[in-house]
Amino acid sequence: MKHIQKIVSLLVTISACWIGLLKASIIPHSYTWLLPIYLIVSLGCYGLLMVGYGLMIFPTCPKEAELLQKDIMEAKEFFKQRGVDVDSD
């Protein structure tokens, strides 16, 4: 519930700023009408950028992958000796 309240209050402040900008006419009117759409497009762009950046930065650990495969084989051998078949294919 608190999360929804945070989001709703954020939306209310942003729309209040936008209506205030409309009334005060500091910026030419054609800009103020385009501002919400521009903000939404830039927000989507920012999300996409974060996803792409995270994909580029994501660390792979090849040594740990090898150790993990070794562990899996050991566990399979161990269980096969006791008569349990854990092989998935």
Partner 1 sequence: MMDLADKSVGFILSAISLSIFTYYTFWVIILPFVDSDHFAHKYFLDRKLAIIIPVLAGVALVSFLCIFIGLVMIKSKKKSS
- 42 binds partner 1 per the rule CB under 8 A: yes
Q: How far is the CB of 24 from partner 1 (least distance, A)?
A: 19
Q: How far is the CB of 70 from partner 1 (least distance, A)?
A: 19
Nearer to partner 1, 1 or 55 (CB): 55
Q: In this chain, which stretch among 13-21, 38-46, 66-74, 75-83 interacts with partner 1, using CB under 8 A?
A: 38-46
**DSSP code of residue 27:** S
- To the nearest 10°, report the CA torsion of 5, 42, 46, 17: -30
Q: How far is the CB of 78 from partner 1 (least distance, A)?
A: 29
- 83 binds partner 1 per the rule CB under 8 A: no
Sign of CA dihedral 76, 79, 83, 85: negative
Dihedrals phi, psi of 21, to nearest 5 degrees: -65, -40
Contacting partner 1 (CB under 8 A), which of 54, 77, 81, 85? Answer: 54
Gap between the Cα atoms of 76 and 69, Å rounded: 11
